[in-house]
Chain A
Amino acid sequence: MEKESIFLVVKDAIADVLPDVDTEAVSIEQNLKSLGANSIDRTEIVMSSMEKLGIKLPLVSFGGVENIEDMVDVMVDAYR
Chain B
Amino acid sequence: MPQFFTNKRLIILLGSIIILVALIGFSLRDRANITWPEKFVKDVTGFGQNIVSKPAGAVEEFFDDVRRLRNTYEENEKLRVHLAELAQLESDVARLEKDNAELRKVLEKEESLSDYEPVQATVIARNPDRWYELITIDQGESNGIEPDMAVMTADGLVGKVKSTSKFTSTVQLLSAHDAQNRVSALIQADTAVYGLIEGYDEEKKMLKMTKIPSDSKVKKGQSVITSGLGGVFPKGLVIGKVTDLVPDEFGLTQTALVQPAASFYDLEHVMVSKRAMTKVLPEEEDRQQVVIEEEGP
Chain A partners chain B: no
